[in-house]
Each structure stands twice: as C-alpha cells, then as structure tokens.
Structure 1
Amino acid sequence: MVLQRDTDVRLWGEAKPNTTVRITAGWNLQDYRTNSGKDGKWSISIPTTHAGGPYTLTVSDGTPLTFNNVMLGEVWLCSGQSNMEMPMKGFKNQPVDGANMAVLGSRNPNLRLFTVKRNSSTAPVDDVTGKWSEASPAAVRNFSATAYFFGRLIQDYLDVPVGLVVAAWGGSACEAWMSDDMLKAFPEASANIPPVDGEIKSKNRTPSVLFKGMLNPLIGMSMRGVIWYQGEDNWNRAHSYTDMFSTMIKGWRELWGQGEFPFYYCQIAPYDYSIITEPGKEIINSAYLREAQMNAEKIVPNTGMAVLMDAGWAEGIHPSDKRTPGERLALLALGKTYGVEGIGCESPVYKSMEIKGDTVIVSFDRAPEWIAGKHSFESTQFKLAGEDRVFHPAKAWISRSKVMVRSEKVPHPVAVRYAFENASEGDLFSTDGLPVSSFRSDNWPDDRPVKK
C-alpha cells in the first residue's frame, strides 16, 4: 500500500476487545500504542516521514499482523461515475485510445492501485473489498484509465510513490455519494433516501447508498486530495448541481477532518444527449450542467475544473480519450497543490462582454498569453441574440486577448454564447492548449425565445 507522507496518518481497525494495540512503523522504528474498545475497535494517528520505502507496518494485540511493501508517498482518492470507472481495457465496443501500448509500458512499483468493489447500502458499512497492486500490465488493464493517466504523470514528475484509491460506479448520481445530513438541504433527494433495510430502487442513483456502501469506510484515510469525474447522470438537474456538488465537497472535507484538501474535477465532455432522450421528450441542454460545474469552482476554495470541450464524443457518453482528462487533472494538482512553476494548469474563463454597435467584444480571465484558436484565429462556436432571445450563429474572430463576435441577423445584440449546446466541440484555447469552457453572458432560465 501507499500511506500519505509527511503527515499524521490515521490507522484504524478491530482487535481483541479492551486490549492494548501496538503499532510498529518501519519508517522510523517507533512503537505507538492505543487501546481497543469493548467492541474491539481502535484508532490512532501516527507520524509519517518523507517519501520512501518499502517498509513494514506491524499491528499487534498480542497476535502480530505485519504489512509488507508499504510505501510513503502521495495518496489520492479518485471517484465519480463511468468516465472515472472506465478501465484501461475499455468497455465493450468502447476502447480507450492508446490503451494497449500504455498498459504495456505501465510496470511501475512506485505507482500503487486500489479499486473499491461496487457496493450499494442503506446503512453505513465499515469495510471495503479490494486489494493493493503495484502498477503492471495485468493490474493497469483493469484499473480506471482516467485515474491511471493522472497518477502516472504525478508519479513521473514528483518521483515519489503514488497511491490511487478508486471508488466509482458508472451511471451514479451525485446524490448517491452524499450522506443523509448533506442531503437535508435538497428535499427532492432526501425524500428518496431509503430506510435501513429498505429497498434500493437504483443501486447507483438512489440518494446516499454509495456514500454508505463505498465511501464511508474510507473516511479519515489520510490523503493529499480527491479527483472526481461525474455529472453526466445529473445533466437533467443542472438547476441544483452547483449547490449539491458544493455541499458534497464541503461535507466530505468536514468528515475527513483534514482541512480544505484539494478537490479537482472534470467538466463533463460534449455528448449528444438526444441519443438517450425518449422520443417526444424535451432534449435537455447539458451546457447548463457544465455551467453549474464551472460555478462550483468559483464558490468552493481549493478546487479546480479540467475542461474537456475538445475531448468529447458526440455519439458516445464515454469518450475514448482518457489521457486528456487524467493529465489535465494532474496539471491542476501539479500547478495548484505541488506548486510546479512554468506550466499552465487552469483554462481561461469568460470574464465579461462589451457591446459596440453590432459587435460583441468578449474578455477572459486566466489568459495571460491571450486566447488562441485551434487552427485559425476564428471560432465557429459563437451565437448572438437580441431582445427576442433568439440565438443565431455568429462570426467570431480572435483579436489579441479578446474575441469579437458579430452576426448579420442580430444587429442589436444583447447576449453571447459560446459552444452552449450538448455536443459542441470547443475551438478556443489558452496558449498552453487548455480549452475554454462553454459559457453564456445571459442568465435566461431556458432556451425559449420571448413570446410577442
């Protein structure tokens, strides 16, 4: 396993009731003692040193249990739904780009992997099922692709052991990863929390069941931070996602008791949601969910969002490119958590618009080297609307740090939108190659024009 370096790492377990539990740490050859309760449970925090290993860790209540090949390094929790869970081998009919060669070159004893087995529960559980493995072709093939590419880059740059703990379930809702207390602020969700021993109508979408079955046993695990890739299941509930996601992050931090640890997440990638919309039903625009994710970054400290406007797949909700999201999450960690200088890690963001005659001038934050196009100084992803709220395609061109937008059909523009559809492919970037998120200048509640 990997334990978090340079901290007081929390260890816990079960032993003989009312017994002294002795812990011997191989990295400093020190003994630590605590007592188990009448239920046999015990917990202790012991100091770890700088990165290194392998060490032994021995726990004894009279009968010793020794863990071998223990490393001290960086530990990250990796959670979310299918785009986090998707293994390097891919899903059936859905490959991961470049996976076979990446798997072949994956042998690395300083990169350790742990996958929490799926478990949906109406009551909090104490244990998870899984095992630690050193990175190897056999282990990496079945491990989260996004998490692997994240960890590979982190380990390669920092040159210390890295441990990745994946707790993810495809199709899972944000509500499923939240505790009962966190959901109190959301009556629609809390009303559907099943009672203990009650029926779980959806094993991956029912509120609180994955928190109880997969996350609860990990709470308190000493770690550096969290990476998260989720939101596709909430695409039709964007109105509540900013508050819900923010509440989840704050709730996890409170339970862990390790301060405002880093929390980096992927913005959902472009996808044509009409494919999964029932005939006759309204096709909901997932750009509102991407906007909700972007807003969470603004209100929750020590977070960062990896924008994936150039890494989607219009025909599939599981893009084959998993290296891009994994490495963009790693850039956020390297730049914001580990303080690596000289790299870009955050995408430019929409700042403001100015109207001059028939032209809208768009400005950006986090763009010190200005804005770049994909292959030109023009963008095909902008639309303008007038007072009627009807959006029309517009011509857009980059002018140094700004984008100028104009449409002959909108002589008096009042609002601008960029890539604000389900499956738009972004074509604006920072000079570091990080894409601009879809955005809008208006706050109109829906996409309907004004009735005259």
Structure 2
Amino acid sequence: MPGRIYFLNLLMLFLFPLENAAQLHSGRLSLPAVISDHMVLQQRTKAVLWGWAEKGSEVNIAPGWTSEKYTTVTDSTGKWKARIPTPPAGGPYSIEFSGNGTHIRVKDVFIGEVWVCSGQSNMEMPLKGYRKQPVLNAAAIIADAAHHPEIHVFRVPKVVSATPLNDCAGSWKTADTSTAPDFSAVAYQYATALQERLKVPVGIIATYWGGTAIQSWMSEETLARFPEVWLTGRPDTIRDPEKDPEHTPSILFNSMILPVCNYTIKGFVWYQGESNREHPLLYRRLLPAMVKEWRTRWNGGTLPFYYVQIAPYGYADPDHKLLPAVLRESQLLALHDIPHAGMAVILDAGEEKYIHPPDKTVVSQRLAYWALAKTYHQKEIDYASPVFRKMKIRGREAWLYFDFVKEGLTSGNKAPAQFEMAGSDHVFHPATAVIVHRNLVKVHCDAVTAPVAVRYGFKNWVKGDLYNSAGLPASSFRTDNW
C-alpha cells in the first residue's frame, strides 16, 4: 500500500520520538494514568483493572466496597489484568494494589456510569469557548458546576504516535467552577443530563482533537480495507507532517484510543464529520467500520454509540458545493449499518458564519435523550427525529411519509420553508409544503409540472423547520441520488 508507507515514512522523518513513560516499565508495580484518584468505574459489571509489574509476579487488589480480595499474575511482558465486580452506584471508595514490594492506594473512587466522548473541534469546544466563539449560557453552566461534584472527567492529552501506545498522561478532574471551563461543553452537559436523571456518578473519558478526520481514529488494520483513505489525506499533511501530524490515518488511534480501550465503559458519544466533508461517501463506510473496531477493542460488541449529525454551515469554498449536505446524508444512512446507535439531529441549531455553533446544550440534550431512552430504558423519553420513509407522486404533487412522528409533524405557525422540487431536468425550485396528516407532508411547485424528486434542507447552510411533536427536528434528506 504505497500511500500508507509514504505517510508513515514522513512521520518517522519528522515526528520527534515519543518517550511515553508507560512504554518503559522498571518491573515495579504501576498503573495506567486512567486508573487513578477520582476515577469513576462502571457500576454493576466486571470492571477491568490493569497495569504492569515484574513478569510472573503476583498482584493483589483490594477494592474498598467489598471484603473480597483478588489476585492476578503478570504475563511474559509484565502486564497484568483483572476483572473486578462492581456494586451499584456509590462512593467514594479506595482500591489497594500491592505487588513486588510496592503498594498503591487509589482514592476517591466512585461507581456509576462511564462514557467515552470523542471527535473533533465541536466535541472539543470547552465551556469557556474559543476566541470570539462563546458557548451559549456558559457562565450559568460553569457556575452550576459546583452542584455536580459527582461528574468526573479524564482528558486524554493530545499526543501523536506512529506506533501503538499502552498509556497516556492525564488525570481525573472533579467538576467544579474551577475545572468546568476546560471541560468539553458537549461532553460535560451530556454528563449532567445523565447525572440529574439517573442520580448516579458519571465519568467521562474525553479524547478529541479539533480538525481531525475519522481515519485518524482508526487502526491501520481496519483502514487496510479502505485503500482510498491513503489517497485522500489532507494536503497540509503531505506538505508538512511535522506541523499537522494529527491528520495522518491511525495516528490518534495509536495514542489517544489504545491507551484507554481496556477501561470498562457504558458507551460512546461521537461528534465529528466536518473534516471528512470532501469525501462523504467514503465516510458512510468508515463510520460503521470505526464503531465496530472500537466495540471490539472495548470488548463490548453491543456498546451503544450515539453521534451528532454535523450542523449546517455556510462554507465559503465553492468547491464544496453540496458535499457537506451529502455528509449529513451519509451520517443519516449509516444508522442502518450501525446496530445499537442513535443520531442527534441539529439541522435547526447551526450558525451560517460559525462552524462551531454556540448552542451546545441542545446537542447534549438530544444525545442524552437517546441514552436515557435506549440505554437506560426510560420509555417516557422521546429521542428520535422524524425520518423520511417514502414518497408518492400524485399528479403535480409529491406526498412524503415520515416515521418517528408520534403525535404528528409541525413547523410552528408557518408552513415548512425548506422543501425543493425537481422534474426530469434535475433543476430544483423552491416548493410549497403543507403538513396534511400526522406523518404526511404534501409538496407542490408551480414551476414543476411533472415532479420526480424532492429535497428538504439539502444545502450546506439551512435552518431546519420541520419537527415532530416532541420538538426534535427532521434531518435534511433527498429522494434522488443526483
């Protein structure tokens, strides 16, 4: 695979060798960074604890929530691993580790719900915002953090590596007004939504890097099935891998996924896609492959995966044409290929001039609806946006049928304004739409005498205005494949 070799050779030439402390073990008992004070372990499961010691030696583990003691033995490489039963949510506890004459005490351990939150800049965006790009209601959210000490966040540092790493730096932080400003606005508010509803501690493993493409978060082995990935690398990576190595395929999987993938979790939250907008059809195939790989690495074949559809944005580059809209479509269609998944639609929450929409609360809430309804089985929670199901042409009108509408569709006190219609000439014109039944929209256009196709919100920049009765917006969609 010449493209892959070219990229990796560049990395070897330009990347400073990474001295990862956890790659070098003296034989003394040691733990990965993620197993440390203030951590949250997944409740009611067998949580994986691991570390390193002299090969062939015993490691003893004494969890504070039980009188049981556990013993494991290191393998030929000096690594040890144990599965420790966890109780219902609670804490704080401590865990004692001993072996090779070394004793380690991990303190302030809580038992609750643990989620991995990953992606690019819209997931990374902290509550304190970016320069000239604030987060909506940030001051109130940060002030309220003092009331959420049972939310703990482990941030995986931004590190690149051409080879797999088994540990990272970092530490668990407890939510308060001093730590919250640096927390991901989406991840933190997702955690608060769960914590307030479930009344249990929530742990977030935050691993993200702005501007990165999905292939950076996938292994070489998985990407070997997609040789075109190595031909679609970002131009700045080819010119200067020393400046932007994080865009290289697999580079973040090695350094920001592998070090934490032993940690027992409840599921994943993902907000990414803008950096793959130039190749949306490839993304449709990559996303399910990444999810499958992550689930395998975390030893959880059915771990829930909830993700955000990218927001509309007024891309200035004319070469983008409708590719971002096709990327949204690819994210929607990928739901068919990813079991136990859900997608938060934010077609109504974008900003034309800002690729980082300030309203991160609505994003977090819509993600939490999926988790509360599907993972935590709270049946009264509405979670799914309306989804276009089929179209019937009747004379000069198109009749569109939708699923997930419950009590019906709505566009407020006005007609939906984002529909377009085309005939056999493939030219789309603004169309008039009327909600005529609970799950039915009639579309008409005077300029089209023989309708062939209808689109809704299928533009790079658009403000969605079609909702179900729960206030969840429909995704953009098209009935054609032009």
Query: TM-score normalized by structure 2?
Result: 0.88
Question: Is 1:376 matched with 2:413?
Answer: yes
Residue 410 in 1 paired to residue 448 in 2? yes
Contact 1:180 1:190 in 2 (8 A): no
With over 3 angstroms needed to count, the CA separation of the structure-2 counterparts of 1:156 and 1:359, relative to structure 1, is same
Query: How far apart, in 1, do the equivalents of 2:231 and 2:82 lie?
Result: 37
CA contact (8 A) 1:192 1:207 kept: no
Q: Quote the offset at 1:379 in angstroms.
A: 0.7
Aligned-partner SS, 2:402? strand
Partner deviation per Cα, 1:359-399 (whole Å, 9 max, x = no partner): 111110111211111x3251110000000110000011111
- Measured in 1, the distance between the counterparts of 2:278 and 2:410 equals 32
**What secondary structure is seen at the aligned counterpart in 1 of 2:363?**
helix
- Deviation per residue, 1:154-187 (Å, 9 max, x gap): 0000001100111000001000000011101211
The gaps in structure 2 that reach 5 residues or longer are: 1-38, 234-239
Report matched runs for 1:213-292 at 5 Å. 213-274=255-316, 277=317, 281=319, 283-292=321-330
**Given the superposition, is the C-alpha separation of residues 400 and 281 from structure 1 closer, same or farther in structure 2, using an over 3 Å criterion?**
closer
| Residues 403, 191 of structure 1: alpha-carbon distance in 2 compared, 3 angstrom cutoff | closer
How far is 1:256 from its partner? 1.5
| 8 A contact 1:88–1:141 mirrored in 2 | yes
- The alignment status of 1:430 with 2:472, answered yes or no, reads no
Segments of 4+ in structure 1 off by > 4 A?
A: 190-193, 198-201
Superposed CA RMSD in Å reads 1.5
Cα distance, 1:347–1:16 mapped onto 2, change above 3 Å: same
Cα distance in 2 between the residues matched to 1:237 and 1:256: 28
Equivalent residue in structure 2 for 1:296, among 318, 334, 355: 334
The answer as to whether partners of 2:396 and 2:449 remain within 8 angstroms in 1 is: yes
C-alpha contact (below 8 Å) 1:84/1:230 kept by paired residues: yes
Work out whether residues 377 and 398 of structure 1, in 8 Å CA contact, stay in contact via their aligned partners in 2.
no
**C-alpha contact (below 8 Å) 1:122/1:200 kept by paired residues:** no
Q: Per the alignment, do residues 271 and 245 of structure 1 end up closer, same or farther by CA in structure 2, a change over 3 Å counting?
A: same
Partner of 2:380: 342
Instruction: Give secondary structure in 1 for the equivalent of 2:69.
Output: strand
Aligned to 1:175: 215
Query: TM-score by structure 1 length?
Result: 0.94
2:117 aligned to which of 72, 75, 78: 78
CA-CA distance at 1:43 after TM superposition: 1.0
> What secondary structure, in the 3-state scheme, does the structure 2 residue paired with 1:60 have?
strand
1:286 aligned counterpart, secondary structure: helix
**Separation of aligned partners in 2, 1:174 and 1:435:** 25
Change in CA separation of 1:66 and 1:282 when aligned onto 2, cut-off 3 Å: closer
Q: CA separation of 1:39/1:424 partners in 2, compared to 1, >3 Å: closer, same or farther?
A: same
Q: Using the aligned pairs only, state the percent identity.
A: 43
The CA distance in 2 between the partners of 1:349 and 1:330, in whole Å, is 19
Q: Which residue does the alignment assign to 2:226? A: 186
Q: How many residues align?
A: 435
| Higher alpha-carbon deviation: 401-410 or 225-234 | 401-410
How far does the alpha carbon of each residue in 1:282-311 deviate from its partner, in whole angstroms, 9 at most, with x for none?
534311000000011112100000000011
Post-superposition Cα deviations, 1:232-257, rounded to whole Å, max 9, x if no partner, equal 00111101111110100011111211
Q: Aligned in 2, Cα 1:282/1:266: closer, same or farther, shift over 3 Å?
A: closer
Change (3 A) 1:33 1:5: same
Distance 1:305 1:204 in 2: 26
1:157 match: 197
List per-residue Cα deviations over 1:73-116 (Å, max 9, x = no partner): 00000000000000000011100000011100112221111111
Q: Which residue of 2 aligns with 1:99?
A: 138
Of residues 12-21 and 204-213 in structure 1, the stretch that sits farther from structure 2 once superposed is: 12-21
CA separation of 1:298 and 1:281: change in aligned 2, threshold 3 A:
closer
Letter in 2 for 1:331: Y
What's the counterpart of residue 127 of structure 2? 88
Alpha-carbon separation, structure 2, partners of 1:22 and 1:282: 57
- With over 3 angstroms needed to count, the CA separation of the structure-2 counterparts of 1:101 and 1:63, relative to structure 1, is same
Give the Cα separation in 2 of the matches to 1:258 and 1:45.
14
